[in-house]
């Protein structure tokens, strides 16, 4: 069916975007990184809350995936967000966000809703000191209840310079025991942990602190995981590029890992310039500094949010509404990057503050930016127009707009008032 739609649109306020797509849109969700994927990271949401969200919002909205918190037992603190980044036992799944039965139930519910589950995988470092984890497991430096012992860690040393790739990979991050990810038997232990999560129904992983591991070592771990699980999991790797640091730890070095993409923190700066600073016409010039087929892009993440807000520089942050919401909607629909991650955070004033940990029903500190209507509708548009080229575009009278072929039309009002415009839109 060919339609020529002449639409007179009234877009109200600065926080409005409109999408048009054909009614019989492409319902297939992305199955690999060869396609565009839109996922959401509801930071520190409980498993029960994520399960409900998959059924009520994420599935119907067309989100391809959801990222959950690191699922292994961690140090016994729930008041700080970074506690989950100090794992204690890879085979005890009690965390501040839920227990094993809740984890399994959430994975099942989300998969049934068509939402793939990505787990944050933290294995570069382990909990430091000694004590009892949040799930009851005892631990001490270089000795953990899951069988990791002194032979699975590098010798103790400190990272004093990021111009030295050896230090970055073989020394302790923030004083935590550094896993010997270059050791064959240690790689196998990590692979069994990842494969066990895949057996539960986890689809893929965010690999934390990938910059602190050799790219060949990560590739080997994922290959070993494939040998155990029967398939290689998709992964996106946290690699923060920085000028002046060693060349071998820059994001481009990690793009050759099979079925993996790399976080593009430069895209965050670009988004801040366009939406945080009001340079909206530059939205069409956004690009990934990494090979486009190998990039995960986002407006911010938990690290950016915590550090920037505590420093008082929240220009592009969940703490400041309209510009952030516009940026997240644009992130999801504009065809840059293989994986586009929408972030949903919570209110805080201190860098270390953890999530409320109550049922995340968009109150009590939870902000739920992914539920803002024009953000929530964006994944559906992205899915409907997946693979289509941008054929026309413009920025006129405060309106950002574009077509993706004859499959979809998107418009965003960046002004503080209502704007009425007429567009001639070809749809088929």
> Which position among 146, 152, 178, 208 bears the catalytic label?
208
With tokens 């997240």, the residue in question is 328
> Which position among 238, 264, 296, 305 bears the catalytic label?
238
Q: What is the DSSP string of 51-81?
A: HHHIIIIIHHHT--EEEE---SEE-S--SBG
Number of neighbouring beta carbons within 10 Å of residue 56: 12
3-state helix, strand, coil in the chain (%, to 5): 35, 25, 40
CA distances to 270, 311, 390, 407 from 396, rounded to whole Å, are 21, 35, 17, 22
Is residue 182 annotated as a catalytic residue, yes or no?
no
Q: In 3-state terms, what secondary structure has residue 400?
A: strand
Q: What are the structure tokens assigned to 329, written together? A: 């909607």
Is residue 73 annotated as a catalytic residue, yes or no?
no
HSE at residue 383, side-chain half, CA atoms within 13 A, is 26
Residue pair 419/398 in contact by the 8 Å Cβ criterion: yes
Q: In 3-state terms, what secondary structure has residue 111?
A: helix
Q: How remote is the C-alpha of 20 from its chain's centroid?
A: 26
Residue pair 369/42 in contact by the 8 Å Cβ criterion: no
Q: Active-site positions? A: 208, 238
């Amino acid at each position: 069916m060919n339609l020529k739609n002449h639409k007179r649109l009234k877009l109200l306020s600065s926080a409005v975007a409109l999408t048009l797509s054909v009614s019989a849109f492409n319902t297939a969700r992305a199955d690999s990184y060869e396609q565009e994927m839109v996922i959401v990271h509801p930071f520190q949401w409980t498993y029960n809350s994520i399960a409900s969200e998959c059924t009520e919002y994420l599935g119907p909205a067309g989100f391809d995936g959801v990222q959950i918190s690191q699922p292994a037992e961690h140090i016994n603190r729930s008041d700080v967000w970074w506690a989950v980044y100090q794992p204690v036992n890879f085979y005890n799944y009690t965390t501040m966000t839920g227990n094993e039965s809740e984890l399994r139930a959430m994975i099942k519910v989300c998969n049934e809703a068509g939402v793939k589950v990505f787990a944050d995988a933290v294995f570069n470092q382990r909990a430091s000191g000694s004590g009892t984890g949040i799930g009851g497991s005892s631990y001490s430096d270089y000795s953990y209840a899951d069988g990791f012992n002194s032979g699975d860690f590098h010798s103790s040393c400190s990272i004093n310079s990021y111009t030295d790739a050896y230090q970055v990979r073989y020394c302790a991050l923030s004083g935590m025991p550094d896993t010997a990810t270059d050791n064959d038997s240690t790689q196998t232990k990590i692979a069994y942990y990842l494969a066990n999560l895949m057996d539960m129904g986890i689809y893929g992983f965010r690999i934390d602190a990938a910059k602190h591991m050799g790219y060949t070592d990560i590739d080997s771990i994922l290959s070993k995981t494939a040998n155990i699980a029967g398939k290689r999991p998709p992964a996106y790797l946290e690699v923060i590029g920085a000028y002046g640091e060693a060349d071998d730890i820059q994001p481009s070095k990690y793009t050759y890992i099979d079925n993996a993409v790399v976080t593009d923190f430069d895209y965050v700066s670009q988004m801040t310039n366009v939406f945080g600073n009001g340079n909206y016409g530059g939205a069409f010039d956004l690009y990934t500094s990494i090979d486009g087929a190998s990039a995960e892009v986002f407006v911010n993440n938990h690290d950016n949010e915590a550090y920037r807000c505590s420093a008082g520089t929240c220009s592009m942050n969940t703490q400041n509404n309209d510009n952030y919401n516009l940026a997240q909607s644009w992130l999801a629909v504009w065809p840059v990057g293989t994986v586009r991650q929408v972030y949903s955070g919570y209110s805080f004033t201190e860098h270390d503050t953890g999530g409320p940990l109550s049922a995340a029903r968009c109150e009590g500190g939870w902000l739920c930016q992914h539920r803002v209507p024009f953000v929530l509708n964006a994944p559906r548009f992205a899915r409907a127009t997946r693979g289509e080229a941008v054929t026309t575009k413009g920025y006129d009278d405060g309106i950002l707009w574009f077509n993706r072929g004859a499959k979809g039309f998107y418009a965003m009002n960046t002004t503080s008032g209502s704007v009425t415009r007429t567009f001639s839109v070809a749809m088929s």
